[in-house]
């Protein structure tokens, strides 16, 4: 199994806040890795470190065996990494198609304009936004903007896709649709890391899960292992024994 991404001892500090401490994992090609943890655990910070938005102070990040720790976000994009944003970042005054063309033109494969337009139409069809291609991106609703984020990332035809809470704020039927889309992306052979709060979804689609709490990697394993892990339950629910103790004292 080839290792696509290798994160080795990555630490990141913002002033007095230790946002990430010694995060280490290897991601084999073709897997879906779930990244979970309470709010403020450092999940998005880890994404920002992986794709060069905020390079880490310590540790190394290898992508396809290249050291990309200090590379700029556009260099990551050229190497075949693409991401979506938790807070959607549409290019409002451009059309939906033009938004997606940016990904195809400047991302991993660097297509010329005419070819990029074709790719954009294919990808928009795939994520279900084909009917909106001519609209301005600013006029989409949140669900559609999330799909647009995904389309832009896919248009680059990346090796690795970083999905930051693409399910947040969607209704149950939209969530099912989006999960189907994510599974279809994996079928194309694209490796995925997804940050997600929605347990049902993340447990269902992930091959492996990493749990972050206060910037520390507190658990790692298959969805079943994570569901039973005491540390994880504690991080999410507080100390489970505390509740039992309190009941016994009554």
- How far is residue 46 from each of residues 13, 19, 82, 155, 219, measured CA to CA in Å? 11, 9, 14, 23, 15
Rounded least distance, CB 169 to other proteins, Å = 19
- As a whole number of angstroms, the distance between CA 236 and CA 232 comes to 6
The reply to whether 94 sits near other proteins by the rule CB under 8 A is yes
**Residue 168 phi/psi, 5° resolution?**
-60, 135
Q: In this complex, which beta carbon is closest to other proteins, that of residue 78 or of residue 186?
A: 78
Interaction pattern, residues 110-149, with other proteins; x per rule: CB under 8 A: x-xx--x---------------------------------
Strand bridging mode 191-195 / 66-67: unpaired
Under 8 Å CB-to-CB from 112, ≥6 apart: which residues? 105
- State which of positions 162-201 bind other proteins (CB under 8 A): none
Q: Report which secondary-structure segment, H or E, holds 231.
A: helix 230-237
The reply to whether 92 sits near other proteins by the rule CB under 8 A is yes
Binding range to other proteins, per CB under 8 A, among 94-102, 176-184, 196-204, 228-236: 94-102
Q: Where are the alpha helices (DSSP H) in 38-132?
A: 43-50, 73-79, 96-106, 113-127
Q: Find the helix packing angle between 240-249 and 230-237, rounded to 10°.
A: 70
Rounded least distance, CB 182 to other proteins, Å = 20
Q: In this complex, which beta carbon is closest to other proteins, that of residue 56 or of residue 235?
A: 56
- As a whole number of angstroms, the distance between CA 246 and CA 250 comes to 7
Binding range to other proteins, per CB under 8 A, among 4-12, 93-101, 119-127, 171-179: 93-101
Rounded least distance, CB 219 to other proteins, Å = 29
Q: Report which secondary-structure segment, H or E, holds 118.
A: helix 113-127
Binding range to other proteins, per CB under 8 A, among 11-19, 100-108, 203-211, 220-228: 100-108
The reply to whether 105 sits near other proteins by the rule CB under 8 A is yes
Q: In this complex, which beta carbon is closest to other proteins, that of residue 93 or of residue 250?
A: 93
How crowded is the C-beta side of 222, counted as CA atoms within 13 Å? 2
Q: In this complex, which beta carbon is closest to other proteins, that of residue 24 or of residue 135?
A: 135
Strand bridging mode 160-164 / 191-195: parallel
The reply to whether 96 sits near other proteins by the rule CB under 8 A is no
Rounded least distance, CB 53 to other proteins, Å = 7
Q: Pick from 178, 105, 99, 103: which is nearest to 140 by CA? A: 99
Q: Which of 93, 248, 249, 250 binds other proteins (CB under 8 A)?
A: 93
Residue numbers at the binding site for other proteins (CB under 8 A): 51, 53, 72-74, 77-78, 82-83, 85, 89-94, 98, 101-103, 105-108, 110, 112-113, 116, 152, 156
């Amino acid at each position: 199994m080839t290792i696509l991404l290798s994160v080795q001892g990555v630490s990141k500090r913002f002033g007095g806040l230790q946002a990430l401490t010694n995060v280490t994992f290897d991601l084999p090609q073709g897997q879906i890795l779930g990244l979970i943890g309470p709010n403020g655990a450092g999940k998005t910070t880890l994404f920002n470190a992986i794709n060069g938005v905020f390079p880490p102070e310590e540790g190394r990040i290898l992508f396809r065996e290249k050291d990309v720790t200090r590379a700029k976000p556009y260099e990551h994009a050229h190497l075949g990494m693409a991401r979506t944003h938790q807070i959607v970042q549409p290019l409002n005054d451009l059309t939906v198609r033009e938004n997606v063309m940016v990904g195809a033109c400047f991302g991993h494969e660097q297509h010329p304009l005419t070819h990029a337009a074709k790719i954009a139409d294919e990808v928009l069809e795939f994520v279900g936004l084909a009917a909106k291609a001519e609209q301005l991106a600013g006029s989409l609703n949140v669900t559609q903007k999330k799909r647009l984020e995904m389309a832009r990332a896919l248009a680059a035809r990346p090796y690795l896709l970083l999905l930051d809470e693409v399910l947040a704020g969607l209704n149950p039927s939209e969530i099912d649709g989006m999960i189907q889309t994510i599974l279809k992306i994996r079928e194309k052979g694209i490796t995925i890391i997804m940050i997600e709060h929605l347990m049902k979804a993340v447990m269902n689609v992930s091959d492996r899960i990493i749990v972050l709490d206060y910037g520390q990697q507190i658990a790692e394993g298959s969805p079943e292992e994570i569901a039973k892990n005491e540390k994880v339950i504690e991080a999410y629910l507080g100390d489970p024994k505390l509740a039992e103790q309190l009941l016994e004292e009554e």
